[in-house]
A = this chain, B = another copy of it.
Amino acid sequence: MKRIAVLTTGGDAPGMNPAIRSVVRYGIKNGLEVMGVSRGWLGLINEDIKVMDHRSVSGIINQGGTILKTARCQDFFLKEGQERAYNTIKKYAIDGLVVIGGNGSFAAAHAFYKNFKVPSIGIAASIDNDVNGIDVTIGADTAINTALDAIDKIRDTATSMERIFVVEVMGRDCGFIALTVALAGGCEEVMIPERKIDLEEICQDIVEGNLKGKISWIIVVAEGAGNAEDICRKITEMTSLETRAVVLGHVQRGGRPTAFSRDLALNLGKAAVDSLLKGETDKAVGLCCNKITLVDFETAIQKKELKIMHMCQLIRDLS
C-alpha cells in the first residue's frame, strides 16, 4: 500500500477536520502518500482530488466543518457513477480509501466495496450518534454541548418569564442527543422516536405541576419524534398555558470540536490508517467500551438500539 485517499461524506460533524489531519499526518509518517478528495463521492466521480502534505492540514484541528467539503451525490447510487469513481481510483493508483461519515456514508462505501473491491475503512463521524456497534461517533459530544448551551440559555427565560418551552434538537431517527441533553439540562420531559409518547400525560403533569407552583418547563423533542411547533400548539390547546417553540437546527452541526470529539477523531484517524495497512477492509473504526474496534460496514449500518428506559426514568426522577 503506497497511496491512500481520504474523503468526508454526508452531513458535516465537528471533528471531521481533526480526523482528516490525523489520516494525512499519520499516513505520511507511515510512508504513505495521502490524497484528499473534495465533496465526498462527487469528487471521486469528478476527479476533484489532490495530494495533501503535512502543511495542508495545519490550523484545522480546532475548526468545525470539513476542509474537504461534503456533498450529496445521487449519481453514486448508480453503477455508472461508481464506475467513474473507480476510474479515478485506478488513474491515481489509490490503494485504499478512508471514508469519514455516518451510516449513510458507510452504506455507500459498502456497496462500492462489493462492486470494486477497493480496500476501504470508515471513520464514524456524525452528530446523530446513530452508527450501530459503536458507542459514540465523532461530533456527537460537540453537538450535545452546543445544544446544552442553548438549553441553559433558554432556561434563563423559562424561569424568568415562567413559561413552557419545547426545544427541538437534531438526531434524525435517533434520540441520543435529545436524551443526553434533556438529562444534562435538567429538563422536565423528553420525546424521542424510540419511545411512544403520550402528550396528554405530559400535559396532565404540567397542569398538576402548575397547581403546585411549578410553572416553567422545558421539554426536549428529538426531530425524529415530532415537530416543536406542532407540540407547542397541542400543549397550549390542552393546558391553555403559553408555550414557546425553539428549533436549534443547524447550529448543532458546527463549531469548535470539544476535546473529546478531537481526541476521538485523532485516534480514529490513526486507527483507520493502521487498519488499511493491516489489510482490513469493508469496516468502520469506532469507539466501543473505551476501546477502538472494527465493525463491519454491514453491521454498522443496521438500526442502532439505544438503551434508554433508565435515562428516561432518571430525567423524570430528577426533574
The answer, yes or no, to whether A299 is at the interface (CB within 8 Å) is: no
Q: Would A314 and B266 be within 8 Å (CB), given that A249-B246, A250-B244, A259-B181 are in contact?
A: yes
Do B259 and A145 touch across chains, with their CB atoms under 8 A apart?
Answer: yes
Contact status A157-B12, CB under 8 Å? yes
Contact of A258 among B62, B258, B270 (CB under 8 A): B258
A133 CB, nearest partner CB in chain B, Å: 14
Docked-complex contact B186 and A61, CB < 8 angstroms: yes
Whether B263 lies near A260 (C-beta < 8 A) is: no
* In the complex, A318 has a CB within 8 A of chain B: yes
Q: Please report which residues of chain A, range 16-32, place their CB below 8 angstroms from some CB of chain B when the two chains form the complex.
A: 16, 18, 21-22, 25-26, 29
B residues less than 8 Å from A71 (CB atoms): 161-162
Alpha-carbon gap, A186 to B59, bound state (A): 9
1/0 contact trace for A42-54 toward B, CB 8 Å? 0000000000000
Shortest Cβ distance from A318 into chain B, in angstroms?
A: 5
Secondary structure of the A side of the interface?
helix
Cβ-defined partner of A184 (8 Å) among B12, B259, B318: B259
> Does A172 belong to the interface (CB within 8 Å)?
no
Interface stretch of the complex, out of A79-87, A109-117, A148-156: A148-156
Residues of chain B with a CB closer than 8 A to A253's CB: 153-154, 156-157
Chain B residues within an 8 Å CB radius of A290? 135, 289-290
- A267 to B141 Cα, complex, angstroms: 17
Of listed A25, A248, A254, residue having the most chain B CB within 10 A: A254
Count of identical protomers in the assembly: 4
With a CB–CB cut-off of 8 A, which chain B residues contact A266? Answer: 183-184, 314, 318
Q: A180-B259, A251-B150, A255-B152 are in contact. Are A65 and B22 (CB under 8 A)?
A: no
Residues of B within 8 A of A249 (CB): 244-247
Q: How far is the CA of A8 from the CA of B62 in the complex (A)?
A: 24
Q: Is A159 an interface residue (CB 8 A)?
A: yes
Residues of A within 8 A of B (CB): 8, 11-12, 14, 16, 18, 21-22, 25-26, 29, 39, 59, 61-66, 69-71, 135, 141, 144-146, 148, 150, 152-157, 159-162, 165, 180-181, 183-186, 244-256, 258-260, 262-263, 266-267, 270, 289-290, 314, 317-318
- What are 28 residue pairs bridging A and B, where the CB atoms are less than 8 Å apart in the complex? A11-B157, A26-B314, A29-B317, A63-B156, A64-B156, A64-B157, A65-B157, A65-B159, A65-B160, A69-B162, A70-B161, A71-B161, A148-B259, A148-B262, A150-B251, A152-B255, A153-B254, A154-B250, A157-B250, A157-B254, A181-B259, A183-B263, A184-B262, A244-B249, A246-B249, A247-B247, A266-B314, A289-B289
